[in-house]
Amino acid sequence: MENKSSHTWKFSKIGGVTRVSIETGEDIRHLPELDTKMWTVLSCPVENLEFDKKTLEVIDVNKDGKIRVDEVIKTSKWLCNSIKNPELLVNGSSVLKLSDINDNTEEGQKILKSAKAILKSLSSEKDEISLEDTKDLTKVFAGTPFNGDGIITEISTESNDLKAVIKLIGEKIGTLDDRSGEKGINKDQIEEFFTELNNYLSWKKIAVQNQEILPYGDNTQDALEAYNAVKQKIQDYFIRCKMVAFNKDTYSAMEIPLEDLTKISSENLAEKIAELAKYPIARISNQNVLPLNEEINPAWEGAFAKIKKLIFEVDFSGKTSISEAEFNSIASKFAAYSDWMSKKAGSKVEGFDLSEAEKILTNGTKDKLLELIDKDLAQKEEAEGIISVDNLLHCYQNFFSFLRNFVTFSDFYTVKHEKLAMFQVGKLFVDQRECDLCIKVSDMPKHDATASQSAAFLIYCDCTSKVLNKTMKICAVVTDGEIDNLKTGKNAIFIDRENNVWDATITKVIENPISIREAFWTPYKKVASFIEEKVTKFAASKDKEMTDKTLGSIAEGGTKLTEKSAAAAKAAETASTETAVAEAKIAESTSKKEAFDIAKYCGIFAAIGMALGTIGTFLVAAATGFMKLSVFKMILAVLAILLIISGPSMLLAYLKLRKRNLSPLLNANGWAINAHAFVNIMFGSTLTHLVKFPRVNVKDPLADKGYPKWKIALWILLALAIIGFVLYCKGSLHRFGLDPIPMLDFSDKIIIPAATEQTPNI
pLDDT at residue 727, rounded to an integer = 64
Per-residue pLDDT at 641 exceeds 70:
no
Is the separation of the CB atoms in 463 and 425 below 8 Å?
no
Question: Mind listing the pLDDT tens digit for each residue in 461-491?
Answer: 999 999 999 999 999 999 988 888 899 999 9
For the segment 716-721, the average pLDDT, to the nearest whole number, is 81
pLDDT band at 567 (very low <50, low <70, confident <90, very high): low
pLDDT at residue 719, rounded to an integer = 81
pLDDT band at 260 (very low <50, low <70, confident <90, very high): confident
Per-residue pLDDT at 55 exceeds 60:
yes
Is the separation of the CB atoms in 503 and 491 below 8 Å?
yes
Question: Mind listing the pLDDT tens digit for each residue in 19-37?
Answer: 999 999 999 999 999 999 9
Element (H, E) at 225: helix 220-246
Per-residue pLDDT at 568 exceeds 90:
no
pLDDT at residue 569, rounded to an integer = 46
For the segment 641-662, the average pLDDT, to the nearest whole number, is 71
**Tell me, what DSSP letter sits at residue 37?**
G
pLDDT band at 519 (very low <50, low <70, confident <90, very high): low
Question: Mind listing the pLDDT tens digit for each residue in 187-204?
Answer: 999 999 999 999 999 998
Return d(Cα 366, Cα 192) in angstroms, integer. 11
Q: Which residue has the higher pLDDT, 103 or 590?
A: 103
For the segment 312-324, the average pLDDT, to the nearest whole number, is 91
Cα distances from 470 to residues 272, 443, 489, in angstroms, run 49, 17, 20
Give the lowest-confidence range in 92-106, 426-440, 705-719, 730-744.
730-744
pLDDT at residue 614, rounded to an integer = 54
Per-residue pLDDT at 537 exceeds 60:
yes
Return d(Cα 513, Cα 523) in angstroms, integer. 13
Is the separation of the CB atoms in 25 and 86 below 8 Å?
yes
Return d(Cα 378, Cα 145) in angstroms, integer. 12
In 3-state terms, what secondary structure has residue 42?
strand
For the segment 280-306, the average pLDDT, to the nearest whole number, is 89
Question: Mind listing the pLDDT tens digit for each residue in 598-620?
Answer: 554 455 545 555 554 555 555 55
pLDDT at residue 417, rounded to an integer = 66
Is the separation of the CB atoms in 613 and 743 below 8 Å?
no
Q: Which residue has the higher pLDDT, 373 or 2?
A: 373
pLDDT band at 528 (very low <50, low <70, confident <90, very high): low
- Give the best-scoring range by mean pLDDT among 32-36, 176-180, 281-285, 604-608: 32-36
pLDDT at residue 61, rounded to an integer = 94
pLDDT at residue 539, rounded to an integer = 74
Mean of the per-residue pLDDT values of the chain: 82
Percent composition of the chain: helix, strand, coil (DSSP 3-state, to 5): 60, 10, 30
Give the lowest-confidence range in 118-132, 236-250, 506-520, 682-696.
506-520
Q: 42 φ, ψ to 5°? A: -100, -30
Per-residue pLDDT at 508 exceeds 50:
yes
- pTM of the predicted model, to two decimals? 0.64
Per-residue pLDDT at 579 exceeds 60:
no
Give the lowest-confidence range in 80-84, 336-340, 412-416, 418-422.
412-416
Provide the greatest CA pair distance for the chain: 149
pLDDT at residue 302, rounded to an integer = 93
Question: Mind listing the pLDDT tens digit for each residue in 737-760?
Answer: 555 544 444 444 444 444 444 444
Q: Which residue has the higher pLDDT, 663 or 538?
A: 663
Question: Mind listing the pLDDT tens digit for each residue in 155-164?
Answer: 999 999 999 9
Separation of first and last alpha carbons in the chain: 98
pLDDT at residue 532, rounded to an integer = 67
| % of the chain beyond a pLDDT of 70 | 78
Q: Which residue has the higher pLDDT, 27 or 517?
A: 27
Q: Which residue has the higher pLDDT, 183 or 16?
A: 183
Is the separation of the CB atoms in 627 and 727 below 8 Å?
yes
pLDDT band at 693 (very low <50, low <70, confident <90, very high): confident
Is the separation of the CB atoms in 457 and 478 below 8 Å?
yes
Question: Mind listing the pLDDT tens digit for each residue in 395-404?
Answer: 999 999 999 9
Give the lowest-confidence range in 225-229, 257-261, 475-479, 488-492.
257-261
Contacts of 681 (CB under 8 A, 6+ apart): 515, 516, 654, 657, 658
pLDDT band at 224 (very low <50, low <70, confident <90, very high): very high
Per-residue pLDDT at 425 exceeds 60:
yes
Q: Spell out the domain ranges in the chain.
A: 10-144+379-406, 154-210+353-377, 216-333
pLDDT at residue 627, rounded to an integer = 56
Task: Indicate the residue type of 275.
Answer: E
Is the separation of the CB atoms in 470 and 526 below 8 Å?
no
Q: Which residue has the higher pLDDT, 95 or 6?
A: 95
pLDDT at residue 522, rounded to an integer = 66
User: Is the dihedral angle over the CA atoms 424, 425, 430, 433 positive or is it negative?
Assistant: positive
Return d(Cα 669, Cα 47) in angstroms, integer. 10
In 3-state terms, what secondary structure has residue 462?
strand
Q: Which residue has the higher pLDDT, 484 or 407?
A: 407
